[in-house]
Each structure stands twice: as C-alpha cells, then as structure tokens.
Amino acid sequence: MPKGTNQKFKLYRLAQIMMKKTDEEHYITMPEIKETLAEYDITADRKSLYNDLRDLEILGIEVEGEQDGNRYRYHVVNRPFELPELKLLVDAIQSSKFITEKKSNSLIKKLETMVSEYDAQKLQRQVYVSGRIKAMNESIYYTVDAIHNAISENKKIRFQYFQWNVKKEPQLRHGGAWYHISPWGLSWDDENYYLVGFDSEAGLIKHFRVDKMLRIALSNETREGREHFKKLDMADYARKSFGMFGGEEETVKLQVSNGLAGVIIDRFGKDVMMIPVDEDHFNVSVDVRVSRQFLGWVFSLGESVRILGPEAVVDQMKAETQRLIGQYDIK
C-alpha cells in the first residue's frame, strides 16, 4: 500500500481526530478514521490503527471500543476536564471584570479545544460577552503573570499607576513617578484584581488595582516587608477591607435583622457568632477596616443594620450622615 507524504504525523493526527470527533455520545468507526486520515494524506491499514489506538494511552488519551451491530465503533473517555467543569470555567472567565473581552474570547476558544467539536458548540452558546463592561487594559493578563514571577523570584517590581480623568483618558498618578513595591499576593475583591504589597518608603502594606498598573518590570532588589506579611492572612485582609479601601481595623458590633443573616455570613463567613436579641434581630461583632466604604455598606442595608459600637465608629456614621444631609441640602 503506498504511504501518504504525511505518514510520520499519523499518531498525532489520529489523536486530533479522536479528541475532536468523539465524546461520550459520539463515536467513530474504523472506516471513518481511515477516511479522515486520508484528508491529511495519511494512509493506514486496520491492524496498524488498532495498535495506534492503544498507543494513544501513552499520550494520556484513553480510547474505548464497543460493538455496534456487525461493526466496532470508538470514542475517547476520561478527558482532563468534564463538560460541566469547562462550563464553570467559561462562566468564571465571562464574569471576571478584569479580563478584557478580547482575552475572554481567546481563553474560551482555547477551552473549546479540550472537548469534542460537538461539546464545543455547547460552550459556544455561552460565550456571548459583547457589551459587557470589561477591563480595558489588555496587558493585565501579562501584568498578573509578571507579579507571580516576581513573587516566585522574591523580587520587587516597579510600575506606573494611572487613573481615568473626565476626558476618559488614562492619567498617570504622581506625574508618572515609578512605584517600587514588594509584591506579596493578589486579591480578588468587588470584581477587581488587586496587588497587595509592601511599600518600603512608606513602611506600609498597600494595594493597587492590577488593571491600572502600567509598564511593570522586575527589579533587581529583593522583596522587603516579610515580617509584616508573616502576620497577615491575605483572605482575612481582603474580607476586612471593603472595596480594598484602607482604614483602622476595629471590632464593630452590629445589630442586624434576622432576614440579613445570609448577608452577614456571605461577607464575614460562618464562624461569626450571631447572638439573638429578640425575635427579629441578632447582634454580631465583626473585624473590619473602618472606611467610608464600610459605612456606605451599612447605609445600603437601611434600617436592617445598626452600628452599636465602638462609640467612635458610631460617631463616624453620624458625621457621614450629616455630610450627606449637607451635600443634598436636606432640611
């Protein structure tokens, strides 16, 4: 039998065919395999294909055959990801505000290659992202990678930081000055990605919106601030910082309507102690960084939540209330 010019790619093409054309519900027969290989100018006899299908297991591709009438049919089983898992990843990518629309579609296309062409269509029905408010900084994907590399290599990073002005233009902060920060972690909060690091010059832990960082580069300097982060639980830090805004950490006592028990648990976790006050309310003490954003969160819950203490925090809420009254000229 004359061999095709691409014979050396036979096993590679066979793997592609099996991964693309088969799944738990779709099979392929030996004649169909030979026909598809011929499209790549590859010829094969039945006996060699039996051996090749077994050899695919070396590549981590498990092929199963079953009798179908007077013929055999084959399909791939035990893929690295199940379809529901990939759907979950697609949803996570779509809902991630920090990933741009272009990068979202690119990542989803790559996920589609991990399933058959039939299951890929099921993912495609979920990939409509046009019109979503996504990040506009396309380089964020590589910024995150650079931060992880710096953490791995125990190095500082340098970058410029910007904010949007009223002309909808990025404007460099501090006149374009470079920030020199020791990166210690990344945190996800309020649909944004944040770098959490140590500013040696200020002697403080600071956080920065990753999508507002520009021209990031690794420094030759070794990271500093290890002693601060030894005592810091990153997840706890993010939970206490509303919208990742800073503030003095306080144990704040709240009186909450029973109907908002889920809101408290979602925000502070199931370990909080909710002490019944009466049939309709409970008290809870939570550790937070008191900021205008925290007060705004309490405000947004209306009469269902009331700050009981400490007195200084109650006074801050009263002052914020008076500021709003003055801002809107309420009499």
101 and 147 inside one domain:
no
The pTM assigned to this predicted structure is 0.57
254 and 297 inside one domain:
yes
CA triplet 65, 71, 76: central angle to 5 degrees? 25
Q: Assign residue 154 a region (left: φ > 0; alpha: ψ between -120 and 50; beta: otherwise).
A: left
- E strand or H helix at 213: strand 213-222
Domain count, the chain: 4
- E strand or H helix at 315: helix 311-327
**What is the separation of C-alpha 206 from the centre of its chain, rounded to a whole number of angstroms?**
21
211 and 144 inside one domain:
yes
pLDDT in tens, 253-269: 999 999 999 888 878 88
190 and 154 inside one domain:
yes
pLDDT in tens, 164-185: 877 778 899 999 999 999 999 8
Is 218 within 8 Å of 157 (Cβ atoms)?
yes
The CATH number covering residue 266 comes to 3.30.70
Most confident range (mean pLDDT) of 57-61, 64-68, 264-268, 303-307 is 303-307
Name the percent of the chain lying above pLDDT 90. 40
Q: Is the model more confident about 170 or about 313?
A: 313
Eight-class DSSP state of 273: -
pLDDT in tens, 287-309: 888 888 889 889 999 999 999 99
* pLDDT of the residue at 129: 44
In a domain, 269, yes or no: yes
* pLDDT of the residue at 160: 95
In a domain, 131, yes or no: no
161 and 221 inside one domain:
yes
Q: Is the model more confident about 186 or about 311?
A: 311
The CATH number covering residue 56 comes to 1.10.10.10
In a domain, 181, yes or no: yes
221 and 160 inside one domain:
yes
277 and 307 inside one domain:
yes
In a domain, 133, yes or no: no
CA triplet 284, 193, 200: central angle to 5 degrees? 90
Radius of gyration of the chain (CA): 28
* pLDDT of the residue at 236: 65
* pLDDT of the residue at 204: 86
62 and 88 inside one domain:
no
**What is the separation of C-alpha 17 from the centre of its chain, rounded to a whole number of angstroms?**
32
Q: Is the model more confident about 127 or about 75?
A: 75
In which band, very low, low, confident or very high, does the pLDDT at 126 lie, cut at 50, 70 and 90?
Answer: very low
The CATH number covering residue 212 comes to 2.30.30
In a domain, 157, yes or no: yes
In which band, very low, low, confident or very high, does the pLDDT at 127 lie, cut at 50, 70 and 90?
Answer: very low
Q: Is the model more confident about 240 or about 51?
A: 51
Eight-class DSSP state of 183: E
Residue 125 has pLDDT above 70, yes or no: no
d(CA 186, CA 196): 6
In a domain, 132, yes or no: no
Structure-token match 């779709």, residue found: 26
Q: What residues have CB less than 8 Å from 9, skipping those under 6 apart?
A: 40, 42
The stretch 208-234 carries a mean pLDDT of: 86
In a domain, 236, yes or no: no
- E strand or H helix at 107: helix 101-112
d(CA 169, CA 248): 33
* pLDDT of the residue at 191: 67
* pLDDT of the residue at 267: 81
In a domain, 89, yes or no: yes
In which band, very low, low, confident or very high, does the pLDDT at 4 lie, cut at 50, 70 and 90?
Answer: low
65 and 90 inside one domain:
no
Q: Mean pLDDT, the chain, as a whole number?
A: 85
* pLDDT of the residue at 27: 94
Range of lowest pLDDT (1-5, 125-129, 263-267): 125-129
pLDDT in tens, 139-169: 777 888 899 999 999 999 999 999 887 777 8
90 and 151 inside one domain:
no
In which band, very low, low, confident or very high, does the pLDDT at 242 lie, cut at 50, 70 and 90?
Answer: low
Q: What single-letter amino acid sits at 66? A: E
- E strand or H helix at 204: strand 204-209
The stretch 310-320 carries a mean pLDDT of: 93
Q: Which domain holds residue 262?
A: 242-327
pLDDT in tens, 12-45: 999 999 999 999 899 999 999 999 999 998 988 8
70 and 89 inside one domain:
no
261 and 308 inside one domain:
yes
Q: Assign residue 29 a region (left: φ > 0; alpha: ψ between -120 and 50; beta: otherwise).
A: beta
* pLDDT of the residue at 22: 93
